[in-house]
Structure 1
């Protein structure tokens, strides 16, 4: 499975992946998912929001056990973030069948659409729509860097955008959702454990800062006459780092757009996107406040206007104690005491946690690197993850 998935959407130049929502690479990933499901005699369907489901048993029976993740990527992302959970889900089903177990609850494997938000700027679009956390109206406003709207992209890929929206009936069929994911940090590497259990997802969000200045000639405009938005933007990037260090948060400016974007032109607009995460909402709020205040001060000093827009926000998510503790009990027999750890990364499991009982398993990442071609996981650890997931699914769906 891993060998067949690995080439899809891979850039020869960077070695990373460019699997963006509703593109050719995304279509190839969806075809791969369908082929894997059909090879295992699973019933495949795509829901109204573009999420793929592969069913063993009758979905209408309810109380289903669901596992899976996503197949899309960030720009030049790694091979494991998302796909490891989908590959492991199919492999866990193979393991359960090899064990000869009988299923008493329906089982589904899911591939959520547009989890990374790389194309339209909002993460977890597929699961947010299903859970009613993103309205159809707001979804229709999303546009990519080329100005193509989400509904236009969906329609071009053969999906009806008019059908998107909250899907409570589908989620009501789910009794538990367990997502396996490569760890996006080094906690397991430092503890020496191949597998961990998630305790919570940090609150996190994305904000857009628009610095509006005045376009002018780079060679003839005196420094004192300039209203250059690049200067307060650059100073705000440094201020964000200082604020995050002070509050114990993490702040990142990883995307920027400049107009008119000419080498010999002073910009009229610098637009930067801030990714901000912290262990609790008070810390996140304090860090954002510090960054915003600094940005306003720098903008005013350079004669530049500033607009701050929140594009997405996810509050702290504590995974359900009962299901989390059940996973720990199940895995104690084979792995002993499994570490429980929080994460600063967002996931579909976090979005669904408000609607269905959810839990997460992490597989060790020896470097801690993620959202990069250097992202990795050892084969032995991946196998340990599959066996752990199979143990969990067997206990939840077969006993």
Structure 2
């Protein structure tokens, strides 16, 4: 198996083979082991206090999510739901991280570690400052003796696309978690996992936002700017490539003045946001805008000359086909009278609906009538917040198994 020599072990530092995690006889830890919780808390504190991370809001959000108070709540909820049940880890989890969101693999890793599993994580070879910082932080923590037990349950690896290596990990794992596009998932699944293992697939998903123009009209300029900042964080943190970042905005109401006011507030917030948009991104947005106009008779909304915010006003029907959407601050727009106007158009590709100015009970009433898509509904500003229930799957259930005793 010479192909295994092509694997670069990034974490833990100093390892030159994977025997310690692949063929171990030591077994896994019990869910929510105290040492694991201490490790996650230490990781959280490092991300929240080290000045290297202050310019990466997505990493700060990750650190906030891993706070001990948050993890204790996840633990309590887990055991309260499983009273009088024996829940144990599944064993070895093989995570395949996406290339477009640098930190998403840490969420599934942390949940899996908390549940007592051993973990191999294949990260993208794409250059990423955030990834490098996280790798360095993990190795810093694993240099501490008290975390040796946790170090022996994690292998963060890098390798070029290689079907033999993928098949090797697939044959040994008990769970395979795949983050990626539909074609990537199909390619990876060509190597089947063992008959007793399971696949968890996070495929292509897109997201939308719904804002009430009546509610916007009631906002002071200060509160509007705060809302706009939350929208920018949701949309631009990963170049609008995250599955939960909104790509289409629906206006509930017909107050055009408030629509313009919102976009100008977004543009003003972007002037101080490190968006990292390149010349190629602006060209891609222009090309997409022209093609959409030709095919759907849509119109470009003028916001500012810099085109940090690019908006295309279109119909509800043509606003849903966003498979070729290029991201980078490009938004389709459409106006609706009620949420029911979206019902027939929502597909299983829609993951997150972020909102402003609408009561959560209105969404419950609407979605209970039957809508094909939407996995989560959150206020604007929370689109990138991770939850143990992702794409409709409860990871604390998927990454454990139940033993019945009678």
TM-score range, shorter chain: under 0.3
Give the TM-score normalised by structure 2.
0.26
Higher helix fraction (1 or 2)? 2
Relative contact order, CA 8 A, sep 6+: which one is greater?
1
